[in-house]
């Protein structure tokens, strides 16, 4: 994980440098080089453009972020990355043209004269700047990859990986990875379900333990990736492995069989000729995921800030209508099984589960206060969760976070439940708009089906659809007790 953070930081710094070099190179070519005599000005102060250059660089970085240029490119083709860079630059130039041509666009609408929009000078400036951006942005990415490859070869900032399967397939994979040190992977050893192999060595690498030892080994060896090396025909065995490693934040790959590749059931990466299937991957494209996070922050901040006076009044009503704090705190399970403190406006009497222990809410539940019944029906009890959204523990849209007590039950009773906790939980979700409040474990089992549908079809379009349906649910009270 540290290696990937290092790569992103290095990429960001290289981008800022390249963007400013492109800006000042275009400035020099246009106004200082005498290549364009009509605009040549030897007395033009270059330093006065430093502040505009920083602003423009910030906007470019934001655009790079939105279009996914800060995702994990180390495992993808450099050519693919270049196409995304050039596509992003063209998009940025078009936006820059629109921003700088606001008044001309108005005139064009009135007159229909294209000459108003495309003056020779403006075209030359954009063309010069565009060529500089194309060259320096692409050269920067290639230089960054070259530097990273050199660091990886020297063992710097590499990702430790654990091979699951101390067998012939595992040995073959180790040899493939060692053949390409520039990939940035360092094998930490093996894991095998045959306990007799524990403590032995294979190709100079130790067999650390069995499947159940994976979480401890990952922590001890600082592992960032798991690769299931052998081809298994039993989905139950793969599921058993995932049950042990589903709660930890690591990338999980598997060497695919021919059937897997042909069926296209899971996405396959070709990494320096080593085909690896990605398990439990995020299906939302990186650029959409970044827009989703920006949307989370914007909406959460707006709801909390604009509605602050009303939320304070509501908190006072809750506080004085029944004993106990207005805001209720509860430990929930977040992404990758990480616990966090979730906030809600209190809708039940204090110590409602003191004697009964954790249990599902039900219709006409006597633990719910009169005010609580109203705020649950209108979903106002969820408002403090926007704090969790700002902290990055939750999203606007995602599966509802469950309590650790219930998660342990559900992992035993529901196949592939581990997929659900690979997603960031949300205030609302596909299951919430399609099903009622949880009243039993059977309700949760039904909701898991909807959550897995969301996992397989994550997109901004689906998120917007869910948010719209949630708004209708709040207006009608449908789906709430």
Separation between Cα atoms, residue 86 and residue 185, nearest integer Å: 29
pLDDT at position 272 is: 47
CA distances from 381 to 207, 327, 378, 466 (A): 50, 9, 8, 19
pLDDT at position 258 is: 44
Contact 186, 159 (CB under 8 A): yes
E strands in 353-431: 395-397, 426-428
Separation between Cα atoms, residue 466 and residue 447, nearest integer Å: 14
Q: Which two tokens stand for residue 436?
A: 């009622």
Separation between Cα atoms, residue 120 and residue 239, nearest integer Å: 63
In DSSP terms, which residues pair with 274 in a beta bridge?
A: 271
- Sequence-distant (≥ 6) Cβ neighbours of residue 121 within 8 angstroms: 38, 39
Contact 211, 241 (CB under 8 A): yes
pLDDT at position 1 is: 52
R_g (Cα) of the chain, nearest Å: 27
CA distances from 276 to 171, 216, 258 (A): 15, 24, 12
Domains delineated in the chain: 2-153 (no CATH), 159-279 (3.40.50.720), 286-476 (no CATH)
- Full DSSP string of 135-180: HHHHHHHHHHHHHHHHHHHTTSSPEEEEEE--SHHHHHHHHHHHH-
Phi, psi (degrees; rounded to nearest 5) at 237? -70, -40
In this structure, the dihedral spanned by the alpha carbons of residues 348, 349, 353 and 355, taken in order and rounded to 10 degrees, is -160
Phi, psi (degrees; rounded to nearest 5) at 174? -60, -45
DSSP type of residue 7:
H
Separation between Cα atoms, residue 138 and residue 78, nearest integer Å: 10
Separation between Cα atoms, residue 242 and residue 252, nearest integer Å: 9
Q: Which two tokens stand for residue 54?
A: 């920083």
Ranges of the chain with pLDDT below 50: 258-259, 261-265, 272, 355, 480-481
Q: If residue 106 lies in a helix (H) or strand (E), which one and from where to where?
A: helix 102-111
Separation between Cα atoms, residue 402 and residue 339, nearest integer Å: 10
End-to-end CA separation in angstroms for the chain: 43
> Which of 23, 19, 15 is CA-nearest to residue 69?
15
Question: Between vectors from CA 26 to CA 58 and to CA 57, what angle results, nearest 5°?
Answer: 5
CA distances from 312 to 79, 309, 384, 390 (A): 54, 5, 11, 19
In this structure, the dihedral spanned by the alpha carbons of residues 310, 297, 423 and 87, taken in order and rounded to 10 degrees, is 150
Looking up tokens 């007395």, which residue turns up?
43
The alpha carbon of residue 206 and the mean position of all alpha carbons in its chain are separated, in whole angstroms, by 33
Separation between Cα atoms, residue 70 and residue 144, nearest integer Å: 13
- Sequence-distant (≥ 6) Cβ neighbours of residue 110 within 8 angstroms: none
pLDDT at position 263 is: 44
pLDDT at position 481 is: 40
Can you give the pTM of this predicted structure?
Answer: 0.63
Contact 324, 314 (CB under 8 A): no
- SS3 sequence of 33-97: CCCCCCCCCCCCCCHHHHHHHHHHHHHHHHHHHHCCCCCCHHHCCHHHHHHHHHHHHHHHHHHHH
Contact 145, 108 (CB under 8 A): no
Q: Which two tokens stand for residue 399?
A: 């599966």
pLDDT at position 261 is: 45
- Sequence-distant (≥ 6) Cβ neighbours of residue 459 within 8 angstroms: 284, 288
Separation between Cα atoms, residue 448 and residue 420, nearest integer Å: 7
Separation between Cα atoms, residue 69 and residue 14, nearest integer Å: 12
């Amino acid at each position: 994980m540290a290696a990937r953070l290092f790569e992103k930081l290095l990429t960001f710094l290289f981008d800022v440098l390249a963007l400013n070099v492109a800006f000042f190179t275009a400035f020099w070519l246009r106004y200082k080089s005498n290549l364009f005599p009509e605009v040549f000005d030897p007395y033009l102060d270059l330093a006065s453009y430093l502040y505009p250059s920083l602003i423009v660089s910030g906007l470019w970085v934001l655009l790079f972020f939105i279009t996914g240029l800060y995702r994990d490119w180390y495992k993808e083709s450099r050519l693919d990355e270049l196409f995304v860079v050039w596509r992003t630059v063209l998009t940025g130039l078009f936006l820059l043209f629109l921003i700088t041509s606001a008044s001309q666009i108005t005139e064009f609408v009135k007159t229909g004269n294209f000459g108003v929009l495309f003056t020779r000078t403006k075209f030359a400036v954009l063309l010069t700047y565009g060529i500089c951006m194309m060259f320096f942005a692409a050269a920067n990415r290639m230089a960054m990859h070259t530097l990273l490859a050199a660091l990886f070869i020297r063992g710097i900032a590499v990702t430790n990986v654990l091979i699951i399967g101390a067998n012939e397939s595992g040995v073959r994979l180790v040899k493939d990875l060692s053949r390409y040190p520039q990939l940035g992977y360092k094998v930490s050893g093996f894991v095998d379900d045959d306990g007799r192999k524990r403590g032995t060595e294979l190709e100079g690498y130790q067999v650390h333990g069995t499947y159940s030892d994976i979480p401890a080994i990952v922590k001890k060896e600082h592992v960032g990736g798991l690769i299931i090396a052998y081809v298994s025909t039993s989905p139950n065995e793969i599921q058993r492995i995932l049950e042990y490693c589903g709660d930890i934040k690591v990338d999980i790959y598997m060497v695919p069989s021919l059937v897997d590749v042909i069926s296209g059931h899971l996405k396959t990466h070709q990494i320096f000729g080593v085909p690896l299937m990605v398990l439990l991957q995020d299906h939302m494209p990186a650029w959409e995921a970044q827009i989703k996070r920006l949307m989370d922050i914007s909406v959460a901040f707006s709801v909390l800030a604009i509605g602050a006076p009303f939320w304070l009044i509501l908190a006072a009503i809750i506080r004085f209508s029944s004993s106990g704090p207005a805001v209720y705190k509860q430990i929930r399970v977040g992404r990758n099984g990480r616990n966090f403190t979730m906030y809600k406006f209190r809708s039940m009497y204090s110590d409602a589960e003191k004697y009964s222990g954790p249990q599902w809410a039900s219709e006409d539940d006597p633990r719910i206060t009169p005010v609580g019944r109203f705020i649950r029906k209108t979903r106002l009890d969820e408002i403090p969760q926007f704090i969790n959204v700002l902290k990055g523990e939750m999203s606007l849209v995602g599966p509802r976070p469950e309590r650790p007590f219930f998660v342990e039950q559900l992992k035993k009773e529901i196949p592939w439940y581990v997929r659900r906790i690979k997603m960031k939980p949300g205030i609302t979700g596909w299951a919430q708009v399609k099903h009622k409040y949880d009243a039993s474990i059977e309700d949760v089992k039904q909701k898991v089906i909807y959550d897995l549908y969301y996992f397989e079809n994550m997109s901004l379009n689906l998120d917007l659809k869910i948010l719209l349906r949630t708004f209708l649910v709040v207006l009608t009270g449908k789906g709430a007790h």
